[in-house]
Amino acid sequence: MKVKYEELVDLFSTLLIKKGFSNEDAKEAGVIFAENTVSGVLSHGINRFPRVLKYIDDGDIKIGVKEEVVFSLPFFERWDCKMGLGPLFAKKGMTRAILLAKESGIGVVALKNNNHWMRGGYFAELASKEGLIGICWSNTTANMPPWGAKTARLGNNPLCIAVPVKDGSSFLLDMAISQYSYGKLETLRLKGENLPYPGGFDKNGKLTDVPSDIEESKRMLPIGYWKGSGLSIALDLIASVISGGNSVKEISDFTNEVALSQIMIVLDPMKLGIDNAEERAKEILSYVKSADTAEGFRGVSYPGESMNRTKDANMRDGVEVVDSIYLSLKELV
């Protein structure tokens, strides 16, 4: 069935208020879950919402907490987010980094003890919508073996980079360091399809594109094999060290995936003396798109390019949701 954006905001907000969140926090978070849903990322919108409610019930997402600024410099702050609702504090943190960057040219906010932020690209794009460059990443629980290993020790640590483009749009990279997500494996398995490219090793150590073989072995592939393995470690090192928060190691000891470490970095090109940032981005992206399309592909696009179209269409027509998930949430109202 199709559901309107406003209905989703209302649904999520109402359920959060019922759990005890303030009207303001519930509305703010409801907007983010609804935005993610209409942006086409249902896995970090409506489809994830039942798990968020469970984490609240488990006491792993705390209600009514406030961030504590544990350290600050003119362009840097470190916050303890006290295990609040992830998207709320990720948005607050990025909003603060944007302000710091507008004042100083660069703004960095490091968050410890924040919960899952859902879709990191949402926060990076807050910066690019204001003409700034936004970079953010989060660590996660261990869900991927390091290169050469068969037991999970790496997070898929999503990395997001948003750059403003002249026509008002954004370049928006939002990528986990695993080649695929477990959600993607499940979706394809249920459809009886294989992955487009190998996504992990099977239990015998052979690369495979069969989702169930990877679900069985739990040997997800990092992007670029040994390279993504190294990048995942680097992102965890910086996030954990600079936030003073939990690393993938500690997070993996918790029952639920909670109390993560996140980094928000914003650069203000104007404040750094650059007055043609958006034109330059446009030129660079036009050049990328000028490549000859390969056989079997429908053209060359850059990250984030199609998301705005998806979002516009879903805002207009409503977004197709999984009936059972939507209806079960409606029943909770």
Catalytic residues: 44
d(CA 124, CA 119): 10
Q: Which residues of 44-55 are buried (b: 16+ CB within 10 A; e: fewer)?
A: bbbbbbeebbeb
Under 8 Å between Cβ of 116 and 262:
no
Cβ burial of 81 (10 Å; 0-12, 13-18, 19+) is buried
From the CB of 271, what's the least distance to a second copy, in Å? 8
d(CA 72, CA 61): 25
Under 8 Å between Cβ of 123 and 94:
yes
Q: 28 or 236, CB closer to a second copy?
A: 236
Amino acid symbol at 227: K
Q: 300 or 313, CB closer to a second copy?
A: 300
From the CB of 167, what's the least distance to a second copy, in Å? 15
Q: 13 or 114, CB closer to a second copy?
A: 114
Q: 293 or 328, CB closer to a second copy?
A: 293
d(CA 69, CA 71): 6
From the CB of 112, what's the least distance to a second copy, in Å? 11
Beta bridge partners of 79: 69, 111
From the CB of 279, what's the least distance to a second copy, in Å? 10
Question: DSSP of 6-54, one letter per residue?
Answer: HHHHHHHHHHHHHHT--HHHHHHHHHHHHHHHHTT-GGGTGGGHHHHHH
Q: 7 or 305, CB closer to a second copy?
A: 305
From the CB of 145, what's the least distance to a second copy, in Å? 6
